[in-house]
Amino acid sequence: MKWHHFGFYVSDLERSLAFYQKHFGFQKIQALTFRNEKIYFLEKGEVMIELIYRKGEVLRYSQNHICFKVDKLIIHGMSLLPIEGPILLDNGWKTAFFEGPDGEVIELIEQKGS
């Protein structure tokens, strides 16, 4: 079994698409409508995320987050400011958390030796 994608609801598809393209280099690979939802699938390399918009839906945020593994965690020079971190974990990994346009939490992690 392989991981396929992480999906989450957004309040504005175009704003979220622009955010993930600008800050993380994702590209929209598919747009579709399913029942009363508009959906964009975005991809970068082997990572895929699904942005879901449902008109009139009240978004409910949780502690869920999406995490991207990066070669080097560089905070300075990013156009995003972390909401937490960078943090050096006991196992040598470095991590930082950022907020997406709808309050979704995005973690970037650098794993030494992985």
CATH number reported for the structural domain that contains residue 30 in this entry: 3.10.180.10
Number of domains in the chain: 2
Q: Tokens 């999906």 belong to which residue?
A: 7
Same domain, 15 and 48: yes
pLDDT over 90 percentage in the chain:
25
| Ranges assigned E (strand) in the chain | 6-9, 27-34, 37-44, 47-54, 65-69, 84-88, 94-99, 105-110
According to the model, what pLDDT value does residue 60 have? 60
Instruction: Quote the CA–CA distance of 100 and 76 in Å, as a whole number.
Output: 18
According to the model, what pLDDT value does residue 55 have? 83
Residue 74 lies in domain: 62-114
According to the model, what pLDDT value does residue 83 have? 84
Residue 102 has pLDDT above 80, yes or no: yes
According to the model, what pLDDT value does residue 79 have? 67
According to the model, what pLDDT value does residue 99 have? 86
Same domain, 6 and 22: yes
Per-residue pLDDT of 51-73, as tens digits, reads 989 887 666 655 567 888 888 88
Q: How far is CA 72 from CA 63, 79, 92, in A?
A: 25, 16, 13
3-state SS assignment for residue 109: strand
Per-residue pLDDT of 12-37, as tens digits, reads 999 999 999 999 999 999 998 988 88
Residue 46 has pLDDT above 70, yes or no: yes
Same domain, 81 and 104: yes
According to the model, what pLDDT value does residue 25 have? 95
Q: Are 17 and 27 a contacting pair, CB within 8 Å?
A: no
- Cβ atoms within 10 Å of 24's Cβ, excluding its own: 19
Instruction: Quote the CA–CA distance of 104 and 51 in Å, as a whole number.
Output: 11
